[in-house]
Amino acid sequence: MTGVSGLAGIVLRYGAFYGPGTSLAPGGFLTEMVRRRRFPIFGDGSGVWSFVHIDDAARATSLALEGDWTGVFNVVDDEPAEVSVWLPELASVLGAKPPYQLPAWLGRMILGEPGMLMMTDTRGSSNAKVKRVLGWEPTYASWRDGFRRELASKPASERAA
């Protein structure tokens, strides 16, 4: 993208990170909130989130730095999903009970308007441009597969190993 001053550059807009070292990792802050049913769905949960595994984000970043690219690129997986879809699926993967569903008015009191926008109004992103221009393909094409492979609860016998 070229600005008034003639500067050119690249902007990478990442989805919600998950995987090692993130809050959506085994033992991560958000993962534990979901496991303990402390991350409810507020309102109808129609906000659409886009995710990206941290390793996929790193690969996209490396590609961006190695090339002479300009522009804005969304680094996300192939499947944006509503909160009302991904949050119960994450709870299931973690072996947790489904999240509570609470009214929007309560969400506004607890989360404020910006938090409620994330729950009900945000729109997911497309990765078509980063795939086409940079040739990037996510290893985890869907958060569903990524959550299962990275976050699935293991039996107690496997956790001790």
Q: What is the CATH number of the domain that holds 96?
A: 3.40.50.720
Residue 144 counted as domain residue: yes
Residue 15 counted as domain residue: yes
Q: Could you tell me the residue range of the domain that residue 20 belongs to?
A: 10-151
Q: Is 48 helix (H, G, I), strand (E, B) or coil?
A: strand
**Helices (H) then strands (E): counts for the chain:** 7, 8
Residue 158 counted as domain residue: no
pLDDT tens-place string over residues 19-67: 999 999 999 999 999 999 999 999 999 999 999 999 999 999 999 999 8
Structurally, the chain folds into a number of domains equal to: 1
Residue 1 counted as domain residue: no
Residue 4 counted as domain residue: no
- 161: pLDDT strictly greater than 60: no
Distance of alpha carbon 136 from alpha carbon 151, whole angstroms: 24
Total-model pTM: 0.88
Rounded mean pLDDT, 132-150:
97
- 1: pLDDT strictly greater than 60: no
**Residue 82 Ramachandran class (φ > 0 left, ψ -120 to 50 alpha, else beta):** beta
Residue 72 CA from chain centroid, whole number: 18
Amino acid 154: pLDDT = 56
Residue 57 counted as domain residue: yes
Residue 86 counted as domain residue: yes
Residue 100 counted as domain residue: yes
Asked if residues 134 and 67 have their Cβ atoms less than 8 Å apart, the reply is: yes
- 80: pLDDT strictly greater than 70: yes
Amino acid 4: pLDDT = 59
Rounded mean pLDDT, 60-81:
95
